[in-house]
Amino acid sequence: MGPDHRRPEEVTMCRNPSKYALVFLSLALFGLIFLLGNIRTVEKWNCNRISTLDQLQRTFQTSFVHAPTFHNSSFCAHMGQKPSPEEKLEERYLLDSIAWPGPPTSSNPAPLRLTSDPVHSLFAILPNKGRKEWCVGDQLEVLVQMHDFQGRPKHYGGDFLLARLHTPELGAGVAGKVLDHRNGFYSALFPLLWEGSVQVEITMVHSSEAIAVLKRLREKRPDRVFFKSLFRVGYLVETTVCNMCLPPDDKPLCNFTDLYTGEPWFCYKPKMLSCDTRINHSKGGYLEHLITNKEALLFQSGVNIKVQIHASGPDRVTVLPPKKDKVEVKKGGSVKSDAVKVVPSGYYYGDSWRQLGGVKMHQFNNSSAVTQCLKDKMIYLYGDSTARQWFEYLVTFLPELKEFDLHSPKNVGPYMAVDNAHNILLNYRCHGPPIRFTGVTSSELRYVSNELDGLAGGPNTVVVLSIWSHFSTFPVEVYIRRLRHIRRALAQLLDRAPGTLVVIRSANLQVLDQQVSLFNSDWYSLQLNKVLRAMFKGMSVLVVDAWQMTSAHHLPHALHPPQAIIKNMVDLLLSYICP
Ligand SMILES: *[C@@H]1O[C@H](CO)[C@@H](O)[C@H](O)[C@H]1NC(C)=O
Ligand SMILES: *[C@@H]1O[C@H](CO)[C@@H](O)[C@H](O)[C@H]1NC(C)=O
Ligand SMILES: *[C@@H]1O[C@H](CO)[C@@H](O)[C@H](O)[C@H]1NC(C)=O
Ligand SMILES: *[C@@H]1O[C@H](CO)[C@@H](O)[C@H](O)[C@H]1NC(C)=O
Ligand SMILES: *[C@@H]1O[C@H](CO)[C@@H](O)[C@H](O)[C@H]1NC(C)=O
């Protein structure tokens, strides 16, 4: 259970009871009425499509080459090998499980004034089974009511909210679970894990109207990040555009589909050179003018991207020590808290991550402790730059772990580090395309599943995967297919070499502005994370929940989380390796 520290001073709950109590009460009452009325009504909005946009999208510029545009890219999700009936079924299930409610189609495109405004929106802490008293072990429930820019209540869901409960003085924080009641109300649920004054933080990441735009971009514009390859023979050099899918019947293509996995990849054929003269691969660029001016209003930093929602009354409560003889109170007191018991992956206390369930967290504060843990291990990190961060952390932290110079391009890899005295080998390799790195040599473009097929594995082998960020611009089917290949390879690896430790690092939150949102929004990551969790469920793999580790922490979100968070992530990895 939670730590046994007492906070020195307690914060009074209602500084101005008469003023706040009324607002609080009416909000709570409203919530109750709305919830009871609407909790069962699950409205299915149609995916919105904005046709005027397609005309605008035909004119765009790129920084470097004229990239192709898609008028119909639904074929993109279905490139590559045809999935088997079972795979199709799983895909359907996964897509259904991440279905996100959208605004009513009648309001499309919604004018800004009718969209969710975090400043006009409010939250209130609900009483605990009728009483304003909370103990460690209880659950804190918060009701959020969204309003539009005119201050009018919203009547549909689909806003993307984040919830955090924290005590800054204790370096404590935990991510909350947000439930969308699809009527403008949301519940945020928090487990109470430590004593003292705890503060609620609710953030609107995107409005439901903005999510609808992101959803459309994901399905219709997988071309919005494009890639390029250089082809060369002697002095003859040509560069062409590449992608997971390119418009068919446009120009001749080079088909770089992987023969083992069937993972599709294409480049336009160079005019003079043949396809087998490809030298390297790199990020091509990001398309512009993807959204209308009206839609751009839905993505304003400080206005409706990651803006906090205020409390109508107090935003904190005091948590008392756990009750000695806990009597289960019957259902009915609170709106919903009894129905959903929130169990987070872990929480911070004293700025250290405490994993809940399974492993006991150890802190590895000095290099000798880490070296002792990794002795005789071969660690293989595969993925994007968030996996590379762990490589860099370990190489910096362990003076005896010497990086071997493979003459790899900076930030691309592959990388290798060796501690001969302790027989430690650390490897990093980026995942196969799509990868927005600069200058990956063609021969180093390898798919993770193929690499895993080449591993002997065993009790001395640790495999770490972090694969998410470069998939956010593609339909989710693309990510599902990639994970399916990796899962197959992992299952075979665990079969032939039991004892191989597999750790998967999930996606994390990052800093968002308009530009980043369109290509890499946390909403895309959230959806990929759900798919990731579901696909490896039941397998003998361990998860580092980077999402919650960044959500619960007080430091600002960043694509590459700050060192303090990386230390906690690597400490968790090491705790998995050395329980
Ligand atoms: C888009 O392409 C797919 C696959 O080629 C096809 O089935 C679908 O009918 C097309 N949709 C439109 C609107 O042209
Ligand atoms: C690309 O190559 C793969 C594997 O050889 C093949 O299955 C696929 O049909 C090809 N795709 C195109 C568009 O030529
Ligand atoms: C590691 O360092 C933290 C912060 O300095 C400290 O609280 C903790 O007790 C240390 N843990 C160990 C095992 O030395
Ligand atoms: C390193 O940390 C371990 C436990 O985490 C501790 O037992 C050991 O004494 C520390 N070594 C040094 C040199 O500080
Ligand atoms: C690709 O390879 C060519 C030829 O070796 C090199 O000049 C170029 O810099 C490489 N591109 C990148 C982005 O590294």
Q: How far is CA 210 from CA 30, 205, 520, in A?
A: 26, 10, 13
- Residue of the CA atom closest to atom 3 of ligand 4: 369
Whether the CA torsion 450, 456, 457, 463 is positive or negative: it is negative
Cβ burial of 476 (10 Å; 0-12, 13-18, 19+) is buried
Confirm if 115 and 156 have CB atoms less than 8 A apart: no
Confirm if 260 and 267 have CB atoms less than 8 A apart: no
Task: For residue 482, give the nearest of 494, 467, 493, 492 by alpha carbon.
Answer: 467
Compute the distance between CA of residue 200 and CA of residue 138 in angstroms, rounded to an integer: 15
Whether the CA torsion 482, 484, 490, 493 is positive or negative: it is negative
End-to-end Cα, the chain, rounded Å? 19
Shortest-distance ligand to the CA of residue 70: 1
- Residue of the CA atom closest to atom 9 of ligand 3: 363
With the most atoms of ligand 1 within 8 angstroms of its CB, the residue from 54, 75, 477 to mutate is 75
Shortest-distance ligand to the CA of residue 77: 1
- Residue of the CA atom closest to atom 12 of ligand 1: 72
Compute the distance between CA of residue 17 and CA of residue 189 in angstroms, rounded to an integer: 24
CA of 78 to the centre of ligand 1 (A): 11
pLDDT of residue 38: 40
Task: For residue 190, give the nearest of 182, 200, 204, 181 by alpha carbon.
Answer: 200
With the most atoms of ligand 3 within 8 angstroms of its CB, the residue from 351, 363, 568, 574 to mutate is 363
- Residue of the CA atom closest to atom 3 of ligand 1: 75
Task: Report residues whose beta carbon is within 6 angstroms of any ligand 2 atom.
Answer: 255, 257
- Residue of the CA atom closest to atom 7 of ligand 3: 350
pLDDT of residue 63: 31
Task: For residue 545, give the nearest of 523, 530, 560 by alpha carbon.
Answer: 530
- Residue 166 CB coordination number (10 Å): 22
Structural element, H or E, at residue 484: helix 476-496
Structural element, H or E, at residue 481: helix 476-496
- Residue of the CA atom closest to atom 11 of ligand 1: 72
pLDDT digit string (tens) for the chain, length 579 residues: 334 443 333 333 333 444 445 544 555 555 444 444 343 332 222 222 222 232 223 222 223 345 555 555 556 666 777 889 999 999 999 999 999 998 987 666 789 999 999 999 999 999 998 999 999 999 999 999 999 999 999 999 999 999 999 999 999 999 999 999 999 999 999 999 999 999 999 999 999 999 999 999 999 898 899 999 999 999 999 999 999 988 777 789 999 999 999 999 999 999 999 999 999 999 999 999 999 999 999 999 999 999 999 999 999 999 999 987 655 544 444 444 456 789 999 999 999 999 998 899 999 999 999 999 999 999 999 999 999 999 999 999 999 999 999 999 999 999 999 999 999 999 999 999 999 999 999 999 999 999 999 999 999 999 999 999 999 999 999 999 999 999 999 999 999 999 999 999 999 999 999 999 999 999 999 999 999 999 999 999 999 999 999 999 999 999 999 999 999 999 999 999 999
pLDDT of residue 95: 97
Compute the distance between CA of residue 450 and CA of residue 452 in angstroms, rounded to an integer: 5
Question: What's the distance, CA 155 to chain centroid?
Answer: 27
Q: Retrieve residue 482's tokens.
A: 């990639």
Compute the distance between CA of residue 567 and CA of residue 544 in angstroms, rounded to an integer: 12
Indicate whether residue 248 lines ligand 1 (CB < 6 A). Answer: no
- Give the domain ranges of the chain: 112-213+297-344, 356-577
Q: Hey, is 439 helix, strand or coil?
A: coil
Compute the distance between CA of residue 474 and CA of residue 116 in angstroms, rounded to an integer: 26
- Residue of the CA atom closest to atom 6 of ligand 2: 257
CA of 364 to the centre of ligand 4 (A): 8
Question: What's the distance, CA 201 to chain centroid?
Answer: 19
Compute the distance between CA of residue 179 and CA of residue 115 in angstroms, rounded to an integer: 19
CA of 383 to the centre of ligand 2 (A): 25
Site of tokens 């914060």: 11
Which CATH code for domain 356-577? 3.40.50.1110
Task: Report residues whose beta carbon is within 6 angstroms of any ligand 5 atom.
Answer: 230, 232, 279-280, 282, 438-439
- Residue 9 CB coordination number (10 Å): 7
Q: CB pairs under 8 A, 24+ apart, for 544-547?
A: 544/503, 544/504, 544/505, 544/506, 544/569, 544/572, 544/573, 545/345, 545/346, 545/506, 546/386, 546/466, 546/505, 546/506, 546/507, 546/508, 547/175, 547/506, 547/507, 547/508, 547/509
CA of 571 to the centre of ligand 3 (A): 12
DSSP 131: B
Confirm if 123 and 312 have CB atoms less than 8 A apart: yes
Shortest-distance ligand to the CA of residue 220: 1
Structural element, H or E, at residue 145: strand 139-148
Compute the distance between CA of residue 291 and CA of residue 105 in angstroms, rounded to an integer: 18
Task: For residue 142, give the nearest of 13, 26, 5, 31 by alpha carbon.
Answer: 31
CA of 255 to the centre of ligand 2 (A): 6
The predicted-structure confidence for 198-246, as pLDDT tens digits, reads as follows: 999 999 999 999 999 999 999 989 889 999 999 999 999 999 999 998 8
- Residue of the CA atom closest to atom 8 of ligand 1: 74
pLDDT of residue 328: 52
DSSP 471: G
Which CATH code for domain 112-213+297-344? 2.60.40.10
Compute the distance between CA of residue 426 and CA of residue 432 in angstroms, rounded to an integer: 19
Q: Retrieve residue 258's tokens.
A: 């992987």
CA of 484 to the centre of ligand 3 (A): 40
Whether the CA torsion 426, 430, 431, 432 is positive or negative: it is negative
Structural element, H or E, at residue 186: strand 185-191
Compute the distance between CA of residue 533 and CA of residue 539 in angstroms, rounded to an integer: 10
User: pTM of the prediction?
Assistant: 0.86
Site of tokens 């555009």: 241
- Residue of the CA atom closest to atom 14 of ligand 3: 365
Q: How far is CA 370 from CA 374, 424, 426, 514, 570, in A?
A: 6, 11, 13, 40, 10
Percent of the chain's residues with pLDDT above 90:
78
Indicate whether residue 75 lines ligand 1 (CB < 6 A). Answer: yes
- Residue of the CA atom closest to atom 13 of ligand 2: 255
Query: CB-hemisphere CA count at 13 Å for 25?
Result: 7
Shortest-distance ligand to the CA of residue 368: 4
Indicate whether residue 366 lines ligand 4 (CB < 6 A). Answer: yes
% helix / strand / coil in the chain, to the nearest 5?
A: 30, 25, 45
